[in-house]
Every structure is written in structure tokens, then in C-alpha cells.
A and B are shown apart, each in its own frame.
Chain A
Amino acid sequence: MAPPRSDDLLIRPRARLVERGIELAIRSSAFIVIAALVLIFVFVGKEAVPIFTSAEVHEEVTIGSMVAPRADGAFSWQPVSMVPKYSLLPLLVGTLKVTFVALLLGLPVAVGAAIFTSEFAPQAARELVKPAVELLAGIPSVVIGFFALMVLATWLQDAFGFVYRLNAITAGIGLALAVIPIVYTVAEDALSAVPQTFRDGSLALGANRWQTAWRVVLPAAMPGVFAACVLGAGRAIGETMIVLMASGNAAMLSLDPSTSFRSFSATIAAELGEVVHGSAHYHVLFFLGAFLFVVTFLLNLLGHWYIGRLRDRLQGKSRRPARSP
């Protein structure tokens, strides 16, 4: 019996076995991710439920008292106090304020950069810009936060004379740095996915490159670009470290972007570490966490649903925006 042949016979079933093992491992890793997601949600939800059900917690806080103004008409977040006060409004306004600033600054840059790289940039520039923006995503948010806290805050205060060094504009710029890579990557993919025939048709009809990009490619990729923006918004709302470091964390109820603010995520990060376990404050923080989880989950869902629509559209199920011949 020649050894090579016997080896050959032996390896095949073993290889098949190995292959099945790998397949099983890959499949179970996918399920582990889903299970982790579900378990996290169950855990966060479970810790938030006493807000609705526990009489002990209701002595200190109810959904009503978190939403309605206090007797003196003020909304205040003072969880560590003789009379703890848990108004969500200042935190909600703060979170939305910084998200708005971040998106206002981040989206035009990110979408503009995506249009540039997919439509106008020469190959060399494209190969430089795309990895560079995507590298930005790899910067730990604590580093961006530190930069905003130490450098950006001083620059902006010197330039504009803000009373508060740490404010929604400082934190918003930091947050924009975190949002840009996400929006850019998804938007760029969406724009690149528009079939070359669209561009060729438009150019053949006499449109210039700008008209083609703005009137043909962008509308065709709109669901993807919109999805990118929504995913960016999800990131901005949930981002913690940057706002914790650069917002000043004062729970002021003010729409003015040059004042300090306190966001949901930073509140959880700052307060959960030393809260008394099982107290009303503890459950309120988990309630905030559950709320954030649901909001970002819905935003992500919305984003992915729109990306799905883009795919349908480009595959010809609806070719409304570009009636190229």
C-alpha cells in the first residue's frame, strides 16, 4: 500500500469534519452576538422596570415626576439631594442640543466628502481620502474627548469668548469627529453603488459632472445617504466619553449652544459607578439606559431599512429619480 494514497483517504473525511466544525463555530458566533444583544436588553430592561412597578421607588420618583415640572416650576436633575429630583427634560434638551450641533457640523462634511470621493476625486486622491477618513473612526473617543477638553475648548473660548469653556459647541465639534467616519463610509458606499450606466447616461445627455452628481447620482443614492445620516445620529446620541469630558455636565435647561449641558449617556457614565445598588437613583439610570438603547436601536433599524430600500431601487424595482434612456 502506497502511503500517499492512504493519507489521502484519511484526510478527506477529517477535512470534512474540520469544515463542519468551522461552520458550526461561525454559525454559533453569529447567534452569540444576537444572544448578547437580547441578554443586554433583558438585563437593562429588568433593572429599569421598577420605575413602573415598585412602590418603594415610587416614593422617590415616578414617570410623572420625571416629566412634569416641579412645584416651583423648575426642571432639575439633582439625584443626590435631600429631596432627589429627576427631571429628564434638561438631559433630553442637552442630548438633543449636542446631537443637533454635531450633525449640523458633521453631516455636510461627511456627505460632501463622500460625494467628492465617489464622483470627483482622481484615483490617487480617493485612495488617500477614504482610508484617512476611515482611520478617523479608529481614534478612541476618549482621545477625541481629551482633545476637545484640553485644546478645542481653549481655542473656541479665545475665539468666541464663551462664558462656559465646555459647552455644546465644543462637545458638538468633538462629537462630529466621531460621527463623520460613520456617515462618510455608509454614504460613500451608497454613492459608489449607483450603477455606472446612470452617470454615463447623464453625461451622454450633455449634463456636466456636477449636474450628474447632484441631480442623478445623489437622488439615486438618497436612501443610503439618509441612512448614513440616521446611523450618524444614533452614534451621536449614544456617544458617551466625548460628551462626558467636553460638556461640563451641568444640567441646565437651555437651548443656547454656548452653555454647558448634561447628556443622557454622560449622566449614566458619571453616576452609575457609585450609586447605591437597588435605589431609586439606580433604577432611574437604567431607565435612561433602556431609553437610549431603544432610541439608538430604532435609529439603526430605520437606517438599515433605508439601505435596504436603496438596494431595491438600484436593482430596478423603482427607477424613478433617473429616467435614463
Chain B
Amino acid sequence: MRIVLLSAMVLFVAGCGKREEPQSGAALADDGIIVTYSRENNSGTYMYFKEHVLDNADFATNVQTLPGTAAVINAVSKDRRSIGYGGIGYIKGVRALPVRKDAASPAVAPSLENVVSGSYPISRFLYFYTIGEPEGAVKQFIDWTRGEEGQKICAEVGYYPLPADKRATPGAASAPAGGEKQTLTMKGSDTMVILGQRWAEHYMQKQSDVLVQVTGGGSGTGIAALINGSTNICQSSRPMKPKEREQAKAKRGKEIVEFAVAMDGLAVFVHESSPLQEISVPQLKDIYTGKTQSWRDLGPAAK
């Protein structure tokens, strides 16, 4: 037993030594391997990237997934061979690349104007969901978040407001009914908790007869809660899946109704010292599906 352990140890150490030698020093700088980082597959961000950038192809097996955008950014900031993606609001210590929709279209920088105008190719909506058409206080609250005032708050918190044609015109505020306070609950995506809470604060100042409670837990958790009837509104950073819609229909007898409430852009970022200046969506697809393995294959843009 002891001998087995010892020989295994020797083999292990010998194995490590052999592989590491050629990689030290200068060789490391130009072996060109792309180290890819992604979010975990439970995140709305991952789903979005998979659907809109990879055209639903699978990620390569060597794509590393980290829990949280901050972790991805941290990893990329420490590794000059790496590339990652995440919400635009988080960018710090890494360099976000302008993105081309395809090789022929212009490279667009990830900025507020470009996301809201729709010219930045990888942006998404954030959603509210309800069971059936909302009524009363729920409807008023949702309309308010999608109106002028709600969208202004959205921009202040660091999310992107909806384009003008997607906004709602909130109905006139109802006079405080004087009776008991009405409680609205909202649950779901952690990405949207800060936004939801800020909305709730402002809304409650305006409508003193309404109490809005916001909790996180993840988009999936929020959707499950919505279907079980333990929350009025579910906030989600991904569109609801057909299976979830069916579940809701079967259990509650009503369709799920979707509201786009804000926008979020996905930035693609690399290490500060990376020579790469821009990237196209097809190139991203090749990198994340494992077709492009080396920075050199990206052509002159990456040198």
C-alpha cells in the first residue's frame, strides 16, 4: 500500500516536470493558446451567449465557467491569454472589445448609446413575468417601471433603459385607498435584484399604499416561485423556456405574460495587454466552440 502510494507520487511529480519544462519563459508568450472563460450554465448570461453568439452550438469542453461575472473579469484581468464575456456594467481592469456583427459590418463599441440604439450586436432584454395579464397594483407597478420614470431610474442604477418604442405609458396613479397596504412580491434573477430594489424604493415613495418586496435566488428559482404562486412578479434575465410556460399553463390555467423592462449589453473583454483590437460575432463563435484555438488564427487583428 505504501509502495503503491510512493510510486504514484514519483510518477506524478515526474509527469509534471516533463510537461512544464518547455512552457517556461519566452515560449509561454507566443504559444498563442486562447484561454476561454464563461459564466455557469445556470445563468441567463450563458443562455443568451449560447443562443445569440454560438447559434445554440455547444461550448467547447475546455471553456472554463466561473460563478459570477466579477469572477470572470477577475480571471481575465490576470491572464493575458484569456477572453471572457459579461454584463457591460461590470467592466473594470480588463479591456472591452468593439464587436462586429459579421466580418463586413463596422465594429461597434459597447456603450450606452450603441446598446440602446440596437447597433451593438450582443445586447439582450431583461424581463418581468406574471401569470396571466396583470391587474390592479401589479399592472400599475409594471407599467410604471417601463415608463419614463422607471426607465430613468434604470439608467441611474447602471442598467440600460428600453428603446423608446418598447416603453409603456403608465396609467394615472390611483389615489391611496386608505385601507390596508397592498403587498407586491417580486422574485428571481440575482442580476436584477439591485434594479428591482431601486424601483421598489422609488415606487413606494410615490404610492404609499403599496409595499413591494424584492428577493433574488436566480431566474429559475423566481420562475418556479411564480408557477407555485408564491410571488406576483418574477424578474428574469433570460426568456422563459417553453417547458416552463407549459408548466405554468397546466398548473395555473393561464398563460405567462412577458414584459421587457430593461436592456443589458454583453461586453467581450480581454486582458489589458492583449494586442486584439476588435472581434466579430462569428470569430467569437469559433473561439467558444473550440474551432479557433490560437490567437494567431484570428488573423492580423490579433497579430
Contacts and interface: CB of A to CB of B under 8 A. Distances in A.
B71 A149 contact: yes
Contact of A274 (B20, B62, B221, B243): B221
A154 B78 contact: yes
Contacts of A278: 247
Interface in A258-305: 258-260, 270-279
Nearest to A282: B220
Given A270-B41, A273-B42, A275-B220, A251 B47 contact: no
Contacts of B223: 276
Contact of B62 (A160, A161, A257, A259): A259
A248 B59 contact: no
A140 to B, nearest CB: 16
Interface stretch (A43-51, A79-87, A125-133, A181-189): A79-87
A157 B50 CA distance: 29
A80 B67 contact: no
Interface in B7-41: 8-9, 12, 16, 19-20, 23-25, 28, 31, 33, 35, 40-41
A76 B61 contact: yes
B125 interface: no
Interface in A115-160: 149-150, 153-154, 157, 160
Given A160-B20, A163-B33, A249 B66 contact: yes
A276 B41 contact: no
Contact of B58 (A81, A244, A257): A81
B19 A275 contact: no
Q: Per DSSP, are chain A's interface residues mostly helix, strand or loop, or mixed?
A: loop
A52 interface: no
Given A154-B78, A273-B221, A80 B47 contact: yes
Interface in A151-177: 153-154, 157, 160-166, 169
Contact of A251 (B12, B61, B219, B243): B61
B78 A270 contact: no
Interface string B233-277: 000000001011001000000000000000000000000000000
Nearest to B13: A104
A245 interface: yes
Given A154-B78, A271-B41, A274-B42, A252 B243 contact: no
B118 interface: no
A113 interface: no
A297 B210 CA distance: 50
Contacts of A273: 42, 217-218, 220-221
B188 to A, nearest CB: 9
A161 B24 contact: yes
Contacts of B244: 276
Contact of B220 (A149, A161, A165, A274): A274
Contacts of B58: 76, 78, 81, 85
Interface in B196-243: 217-221, 223-224, 241, 243
Nearest to A107: B5
B194 interface: no
A275 B224 CA distance: 9
Contact of B19 (A251, A256, A271, A272): A256
B61 A271 contact: no
B155 interface: no
Contact of B41 (A76, A79, A164, A256): A79
A253 interface: yes
A77 to B, nearest CB: 8
Nearest to A75: B61
A166 B64 contact: yes
Given A250-B62, A273-B218, A276-B241, A257 B16 contact: yes
Interface in A211-235: none
B91 interface: no
Interface string B64-79: 1111000100110011
B43 interface: yes
Contacts of A157: 79
Given A256-B19, A258-B16, A276-B241, A80 B220 contact: no
A238 interface: no
A106 interface: no
Given A165-B78, A249-B65, A82 B56 contact: yes
Given A80-B46, A248-B66, A259-B62, A277 B224 contact: yes
A104 B8 contact: yes
A244 B65 CA distance: 9
Given A81-B56, A248-B65, 12 more contacts: A80-B50, A81-B58, A153-B78, A163-B31, A165-B79, A245-B67, A248-B64, A257-B12, A257-B16, A274-B42, A275-B220, A276-B223
Interface of B: 8-9, 12, 16, 19-20, 23-25, 28, 31, 33, 35, 40-43, 46-47, 50, 56, 58-59, 61-67, 71, 74-75, 78-79, 81, 217-221, 223-224, 241, 243-244, 247
> What are the 6 tightest A-B residue pairs by CB atom distance, in nearest-first order?
A274-B220, A248-B64, A274-B42, A161-B23, A274-B218, A80-B41
23 contacts: A76-B58, A78-B58, A80-B46, A81-B50, A82-B56, A104-B9, A149-B71, A154-B78, A160-B24, A161-B20, A161-B23, A163-B35, A163-B81, A164-B35, A166-B64, A245-B67, A248-B64, A248-B65, A248-B66, A257-B16, A258-B20, A274-B219, A278-B247
